[in-house]
Chain A
Amino acid sequence: MMEICIYGRGGQGGVTLAELVAHAAIREGKYVQSMPSFGPERRGAPVLAFLRVNETERIKIRTEIAEPDVLVVLDPGLLHVGDVISRLKKEGIAVINTKKSPEEMKSDLEGVTKIAVVDAMSIAREILGLPIVNTTMIGALIKAVGLVKLESLEQPMNERFGKVAAKNIEAMRRAYEETVVR
């Protein structure tokens, strides 16, 4: 089972990211659990979303993810807000929206051994015309850990976004290409 935390701000779409990947994984016959951090939603406040994916078995655990295998960071400004990075498992990977290189990022984040970086903000601004990186970061997540096929996201995104789905899919694919994993 893979346990993923998505760290973003309220309104940045971290919950939607988890949901879209969950729907894609279900389409592939996998078992999933996607959940927001429980409670009131506050725009701008640092917030975690959770995603569990199991290839073979129903997921029974019903607690927040304490030590994720993967941490997706939507907003680089959050890296030093709260102590989320330290939750990452020793062999876990941080997938970060940043303009920095993986080397720079690694030296910034003590104790993180595996890292994937992409300048999702520039991709989102260019393709979507909006500074919203959640769908873009799905591409980075898939590049970093596999999890699901890029194609499996198409249907869930079409259902979710209708007319603007195509651009979101394009942004995801671009991020998949541009993500650097170290």
Chain B
Amino acid sequence: MTKGKIVGLEGSFAVAEAVRMANVDVISAYPITPQTHIVERLAEMIADGELDAEFICVESEHSAMSACVGASAAGARVFTCSASQGLELMHEVLYIPSSMRLPVVAVTANRALSAPLSVWCDHSDAMAIRDIGWIQIFAENNQQAFDLTVCAYRIAEDKEVLFPAMVHIDGFYLSHVIEGVMLPDEEEVAHFIPDYEHPFVLDPEDPVSMGCYGPPFIYPEAKKAQEVDFTNTKPKIQETWDEFGETFGRYYSPVEKYKMEDANIALLTMGSSGETAMLAVDEMREEGRDVGLIRLRLWRPFPFKEFRDAVKDVELLVVLDRAISFGMGGPVCSEVKSALYDKRKDLSIVGFIGGLGGRDIPIDGFKYMVNRALEKVKMIERGEEIETEMIGIRE
């Protein structure tokens, strides 16, 4: 086992510790609730000399990501973080590092989008950026916030990856909650994420042009190359997590299973509600019900194979979305359905939307979803139209 110590840290500080141990060169970020503590802690670390990095102060998230793109193109290891409207303001620039293949690492403290104005957690911001070509990873607790941020550097900077990576931590649920986090030995972390060299950097001695103009004769080839390479990052992501597990004793995979061995019904969650869902599964197991839980750790690139494997023996899949794709239902549910289309005609999939704008989903909420899903399966069998249900809504 690795050396290290357990420290009480809120999720934001756990992220800041990971960024410090990754010894980043440049940080540029703009504060926004509930991400603010990450930026504050990092600024403090730089001011106190605990971290030798350049903090580029900017007037907006758009500029923060732009600064990160420039710094990364010059070969620096960079970090930024945001949430909600801030991530939306950054949106335009988010496409640049993924297309230019710059390994920027970012953390999002997931938060709802306006209006009405909400500073509380849901996954609307995360879902709004699912098509931008960033690796998207969801953490479930503060230990994972630390571990997965460390791994994000190693993954993003891998010569066979070179894509930006974003770690999603649920706003407040992780960002503001203190729990025990095992902080490993700094040297071991440094060893795990060695200095990296991008094959192309902005260097006057060896000039290249980046982010060029792409007329129709080349643009589709550029996108094909990006998509193939992006999809091919999956084995590297798993390999990195395996190696992290061997070094630090905590293992991760794109699709994580809980009590799924003989389960006929599976719940599916992402982010911090996973552990509460585990408690619901425990209670239902005690009642003699064959329910298990699947948590999607990796959202992009979508882990098709691992996901299909995880549900291969299941008859009913109950999906929780913490976001709405207006007019389409829950984005996770519709993607999960498309991942299984033509593969599992015998599997019923029932989606629910819950936990919007910081509304807690208690243990009973998960039990309700399972029971209600069973009723809905019967309705589907009777040929009735089923709409995605939003749970816990007052009439």
> Chain A: residues with CB nearer than 8 A to chain B?
18-19, 22-23, 26, 31-36, 38-40, 59-64, 66
Q: Are B180 and A31 in contact (CB under 8 A)?
A: yes
CB distance from A150 to the nearest CB of B (A): 18
Cα separation A64 to B173 with both chains bound (whole Å): 10
CB distance from A172 to the nearest CB of B (A): 18
Chain A residues near B362: list those with CB within 8 A: 63, 66
> Chain B: residues with CB nearer than 8 A to chain A?
6-8, 33-34, 119-121, 172-173, 176-180, 272-273, 275-276, 278-279, 358, 360-363
Q: Which of B119, B178, B276 contacts A62, CB < 8 Å?
A: B276
Chain A residues near B279: list those with CB within 8 A: 60-61
Nearest 3 pairs of A and B residues by beta carbon: A60-B275, A38-B172, A63-B360
Q: Are B278 and A60 in contact (CB under 8 A)?
A: yes
CB distance from B50 to the nearest CB of A (A): 15
Q: How many contacting A-B pairs (Cβ < 8 A)?
A: 64
CB distance from A137 to the nearest CB of B (A): 18
CB distance from A54 to the nearest CB of B (A): 11
Known: A33-B177, A60-B279. A22 touches B8 (CB 8 A): yes
Chain A residues near B33: list those with CB within 8 A: 40
Chain B residues near A61: list those with CB within 8 A: 275-276, 279, 363
Cα separation A40 to B117 with both chains bound (whole Å): 12
Q: Which of A32, A38, A64 contacts B178, CB < 8 Å?
A: A32
Chain B residues near A35: list those with CB within 8 A: 172, 176-178
Chain B residues near A18: list those with CB within 8 A: 178
Known: A32-B8, A40-B33. A60 touches B276 (CB 8 A): yes
Q: Are A34 and B276 in contact (CB under 8 A)?
A: no
Closest to A64 in B: B360
Q: Are B172 and A19 in contact (CB under 8 A)?
A: no
Cα separation A81 to B275 with both chains bound (whole Å): 33
Q: Are A19 and B178 in contact (CB under 8 A)?
A: yes
Chain B residues near A36: list those with CB within 8 A: 176
CB distance from B176 to the nearest CB of A (A): 6
Cα separation A38 to B171 with both chains bound (whole Å): 9
Cα separation A127 to B278 with both chains bound (whole Å): 46
Q: Are A26 and B176 in contact (CB under 8 A)?
A: no
Cα separation A116 to B361 with both chains bound (whole Å): 33
Chain B residues near A59: list those with CB within 8 A: 179
Q: Are A62 and B8 in contact (CB under 8 A)?
A: no
CB distance from B282 to the nearest CB of A (A): 9
Q: Are A38 and B179 in contact (CB under 8 A)?
A: no
Known: A35-B176, A35-B178. A19 touches B119 (CB 8 A): no
